[in-house]
């Protein structure tokens, strides 16, 4: 696998980049490219994002043509608002309406610390909720129980001790971690 995301994802360059809000963090755009690379390389049709916040990444996943089902979890109910209302996002939705018309999106408000394991199936799970060690470990076990092809973590080596500790345990346990240039997304092929 080519781990330089800039070598991939023509779709991203051609179709999506200009729909970002001008204030979007460049790092975030790069992380999105990494996610597209993983989706494409591992042929992930069903994706789950744990921790959705205002839906920035969710919208990108939603509009990526390969993704046919997207499930997003967040503990806070009010965070879904931006997902629907920010102007740039509405523009993106209109512009790419045909592309994602076949994508089923579900936004679920739940505490992943309280969820029963093993009840779902997703090809790719992105872990990006609470970055405390116990939460990241819980979300990793939850994600594994969903029989994914790939688990991705956001915010590795980005000032989040909990994420770093969990990834370091996994490395010490012999698990191969996929890392990407200039990105704080890391991934594990299951
Ligand atoms: C870093 S933000 C997510 C950013 C988002 N993935 C993005 O790329 O735009 C973390 C989110 O995780 C949510 N969260 C924190 N703890 C959670 C939990 N136990 N269960 C579900 N969501 C949680 C927070 O409410 C917050 O919206």
5-189 CATH:
3.40.50.150
- Percent helix / strand / coil, the chain, rounded to 5: 45, 15, 40
Instruction: Kindly state if the Cβ of 160 falls inside 6 Å of ligand 1.
Output: no
| Per-residue pLDDT reduced to its tens digit, 24-33 | 556 677 888 8
Higher pLDDT pick, 10 / 102? 102
Candidate of 75, 113, 133 to mutate for ligand 1, largest count of ligand atoms within 8 Å of Cβ: 75
Instruction: Read off the pLDDT band of 76 (50, 70, 90).
Output: confident
Predicted TM-score (pTM) of this structure: 0.84
φ and ψ at 52, to 5 degrees?
Answer: -110, -20
Instruction: Kindly state if the Cβ of 111 falls inside 6 Å of ligand 1.
Output: yes
Instruction: Kindly state if the Cβ of 155 falls inside 6 Å of ligand 1.
Output: no
* pLDDT exceeds cutoff 80 at 47: yes
**What count of other Cβ atoms lies within 10 Å of the Cβ of residue 141?**
10
The reported pLDDT for the residue numbered 109 is: 82
Candidate of 28, 36, 51, 163 to mutate for ligand 1, largest count of ligand atoms within 8 Å of Cβ: 51
Higher pLDDT pick, 122 / 91? 122
Query: Domain-by-domain residue ranges, the chain?
Result: 5-189
| Per-residue pLDDT reduced to its tens digit, 86-106 | 444 444 444 444 444 556 777
The reported pLDDT for the residue numbered 80 is: 44
Residue nearest to atom 2 of ligand 1 (CA): 53
DSSP 14: I
Instruction: Kindly state if the Cβ of 79 falls inside 6 Å of ligand 1.
Output: yes
Q: From the CA of 94, how far away is ligand 1's center (Å)?
A: 26
Classified as helix, coil or strand, 111 is coil
Kindly state the average pLDDT of the residues 31-41: 89
CA pair distance 147, 185, nearest whole angstrom:
20
Average pLDDT for the chain: 79
Q: What angle is formed at CA 157 by the lines to CA 155 and CA 162, rounded to 5 degrees?
A: 70
| Per-residue pLDDT reduced to its tens digit, 124-167 | 999 999 999 999 999 999 999 999 999 999 999 999 999 999 99
What are residue 104's DSSP bridge partners? Answer: 69
Q: From the CA of 50, how far away is ligand 1's center (Å)?
A: 7
**Complete DSSP assignment for 113-135:** GGPPTTS---SEEEE-S--SHHH
Instruction: Read off the pLDDT band of 48 (50, 70, 90).
Output: very high
- 5-9, 66-70, 114-118: least confidently modelled range: 5-9
Instruction: Kindly state if the Cβ of 183 falls inside 6 Å of ligand 1.
Output: no
Taking CA atoms, 127 is separated from 57, 67, 93, 139, 174, in Å, by 12, 17, 24, 7, 20
The reported pLDDT for the residue numbered 25 is: 58
Mention every residue, 6+ apart, whose C-beta is less than 8 A from residue 6.
33, 181
Whether residue 120 contacts residue 112, with contact meaning beta carbons closer than 8 Å, is answered with no
Kindly state the average pLDDT of the residues 104-112: 83
The reported pLDDT for the residue numbered 161 is: 97
DSSP 24: -
């Amino acid at each position: 696998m080519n781990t330089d995301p800039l070598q991939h994802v023509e779709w991203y360059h051609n179709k999506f980049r200009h729909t970002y809000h001008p204030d979007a963090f460049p790092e975030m755009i790069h992380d999105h490219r990494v996610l597209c690379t993983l989706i494409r390389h591992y042929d992930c049709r069903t994706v789950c994002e744990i921790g959705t916040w205002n839906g920035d990444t969710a919208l990108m996943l939603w509009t990526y043509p390969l993704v046919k089902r997207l499930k997003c979890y967040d503990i806070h109910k009010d965070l879904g608002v931006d997902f629907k209302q920010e102007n740039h996002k509405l523009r993106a939705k209109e512009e790419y309406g045909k592309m994602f018309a076949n994508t089923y999106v579900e936004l679920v408000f739940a505490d992943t610390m309280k969820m029963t394991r093993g009840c779902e199936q997703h090809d790719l799970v992105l872990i990006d909720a609470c970055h405390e060690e116990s939460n990241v470990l819980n979300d990793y076990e939850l994600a594994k129980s969903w029989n994914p092809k790939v688990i991705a973590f956001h915010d590795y080596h980005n000032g989040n001790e909990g994420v770093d500790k969990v990834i370091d345990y996994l490395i010490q346990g012999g698990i191969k971690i996929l890392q990407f240039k200039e990105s704080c997304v890391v991934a594990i092929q299951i």
